[in-house]
Amino acid sequence: DVKVTQSSRYLVKRTGEKVFLECVQDMDHENMFWYRQDPGLGLRLIYFSYDVKMKEKGDIPEGYSVSREKKERFSLILESASTNQTSMYLCASSKGGNEQFFGPGTRLTVL
Amino acid sequence: GEDVEQSLFLSVREGDSSVINCTYTDSSSTYLYWYKQEPGAGLQLLTYIFSNMDMKQDQRLTVLLNKKDKHLSLRIADTQTGDSAIYFCAGWPIQTGANNLFFGTGTRLTVIP
C-alpha cells in the first residue's frame, strides 16, 4: 500500500515564524503536491514537483516555497507565517498523472 | 486550468440513495475521479471513470458521465451513516500534459439516522 505521511497532524505557530511542513511517500512516486483546504474553497494547489529539485507553482504559491532534495520527501515552507495561512495542508503523491495518494493532513493555526 | 463545481452540502436519510453532482469546464479531462474525505483525514480515492465511458458501477457506487453536458455524478445506494464525509470530484486533463488534478470544492454529505 502507498503510504504518504506528514510530519504533524496539528501545528500552532505565531505570526512571523518560519514553518516547515514535511511530507514523505514510500512508493517511489515522481510527482508530489501540496494543497491547502479551506471550507467552501475545496483543494487549492500551492506547489507541485515532478522530480527531485524540480518545482512548479500551483494556483496559490504566494507566501510559500518548497524543497525537494530527495525523491521521497517534499517540504512546504512558510517563510513568515501569517494568520491567513491558517488552514489544513494536504500532501499528495502520484506516479505519472494518475491517482493521487494523500497524507492525513496538517492542521496549521497561526496566531 | 479547469473549473470544477460542486454543490457544498447534501443531506439524506439513512437507507436512501445519495446523488452528488459535479460539473466541469474542460472537456479534455480524460480521467475523472471521486475522492472521499472522512473527518480529520486525508482524501481517499473511491472510484474513477475514463472519459470514453458513460457509466461505471462498483458495489453501492455508480458513476455517471455526461460528456455533452460536462456533468459527472456519484450515486451511493443504501446510504449509511459511515458515508458521511466530504466528496470531491477531480479531473485530469491528460492532453494538456499536466500532472496535476483539478479538484472541485467538495460536497459535504450528511446522513441522518
- The 10s digit of each residue's pLDDT in A55-88 is 999 989 999 999 999 999 999 999 999 999 999 9
DSSP string over B23-72: EES-TT--EEEEEEE-TTS-EEEEEEEETT-SEEEETTEEEEEETTTTEE
Cell of B36: 472521499
Confidence of residue B22 (pLDDT cuts 50, 70, 90): very high
Chain B closest CA to A76's CA: distance in Å?
Answer: 17
The residue that leads in pLDDT, B93 or A84, is A84
* A67: CB partners within 8 A, 6+ apart: A74, A75, A77
Query: Does the structure show a pLDDT above 90 at B101?
Result: no
pLDDT at B91: 85
Chain-chain contact of B42 with A4 (C-beta, under 8 angstroms): yes
Query: Does the structure show a pLDDT above 90 at A95?
Result: no
Query: Does the structure show a pLDDT above 90 at A99?
Result: no
Query: Does the structure show a pLDDT above 80 at A89?
Result: yes
Q: Which of A1-5, B17-21, B82-86, B92-96 has the lowest mean pLDDT?
A: B92-96
Number of CB pairs, chain A paired with chain B, less than 8 A apart = 57
pLDDT at A96: 72
Residues A12 and B4: their CA atoms lie apart, in Å, by 32
Residues of A in contact with B98 (CB under 8 A): 97
Long-range contacts made by residues B55-63, C-beta under 8 angstroms, separation at least 24?
A: B61/B34, B63/B32, B63/B34
Q: Say if strands B4-6 and B9-13 run parallel, antiparallel, or are unpaired.
A: unpaired
Residues A93 and A89: their CA atoms lie apart, in Å, by 14
Mean pLDDT (chain B) is: 89
pLDDT at B3: 78
Q: Is B92 on the interface with A (CB under 8 A)?
A: yes
Residues A68 and A72: their CA atoms lie apart, in Å, by 8
Query: Does the structure show a pLDDT above 90 at B11?
Result: yes
pLDDT at B16: 97
Question: Which of A40, A42, A97 faces B99 most closely, judged by CB atoms?
Answer: A97
Residue of A3, A33, A98 to mutate, interface with B, max B Cβ within 10 Å: A98
Q: What is the mean pLDDT of residues B61-80?
A: 94
Chain-chain contact of B1 with A50 (C-beta, under 8 angstroms): no
Chain A closest CA to B80's CA: distance in Å?
Answer: 23
The residue that leads in pLDDT, B101 or A93, is A93
Q: Is B105 on the interface with A (CB under 8 A)?
A: yes
Residues B6 and A38: their CA atoms lie apart, in Å, by 15
pLDDT at A42: 86
pLDDT at A41: 85
Q: Using an 8 Å CB-CB cutoff, list residues of chain A that contact chain B.
A: 4, 31, 33, 35, 40-43, 45, 48, 50, 58-59, 90, 92, 94, 96-105
**CB neighbourhood size of A46 (10 A):** 23
Task: Please name which of B14, B37, B23, B19 lies closest in space to residue A39, comparing C-alpha atoms.
Answer: B37
Give the tens place of pLDDT for each residue, A24-46.
999 999 999 999 999 888 899 99
Residues B13 and B17: their CA atoms lie apart, in Å, by 8
Cell of A88: 489544513
Chain B closest CA to A24's CA: distance in Å?
Answer: 14
pLDDT at B76: 97
Burial of B105 (0-12, 13-18, 19+ CB in 10 A): buried
Burial of A11 (0-12, 13-18, 19+ CB in 10 A): middle
